[in-house]
Amino acid sequence: MTTRTPACEEGPGEVSHCQVCDVLATAPSGSIVYVSDLWTATLGYDVPGWILVMANRHSDDCMWGLTDHEASTLGSLMQRLSAAAKAEAGAECVYIMGFGEQNRHFHFMLLTRSASMAADLRGAGLLENAPRLANRNQALRVGSRIRDRLAALSITVAGFRWVIALPLSVVCCALVYGYIALSPSWPCLVSRCRLWRGAGRCGGAIGRWPGGAFGGRTSAGRRRAGRG
Domain ranges for the chain = 7-164, 183-227
Pick the range with the lowest mean pLDDT from 2-11, 27-36, 176-185.
2-11
Residue partners of 90: CB distance under 8 A and separation at least 6: 114
Crossing angle for the helix pair 186-197 and 219-227, to the nearest 10 degrees: 90
The residue among 174 and 202 whose pLDDT is bigger is 174
Check residue 5 and give its pLDDT.
38
* Torsion angle defined by CA atoms of residues 117, 119, 121 and 125, in that order, rounded to the nearest 10 degrees: 140
Tens digit of each residue's pLDDT (9 = 90 or more) over 82-122: 999 999 999 999 999 999 898 999 999 999 999 999 998 89
In the predicted model, is pLDDT for residue 74 greater than 80?
Answer: yes
**What is the fold, at CATH topology level, of the domain defined by 7-164?**
HIT family, subunit A (3.30.428)
In the predicted model, is pLDDT for residue 170 greater than 90?
Answer: no
In the predicted model, is pLDDT for residue 61 greater than 90?
Answer: yes
Residue partners of 209: CB distance under 8 A and separation at least 6: 180, 186, 190
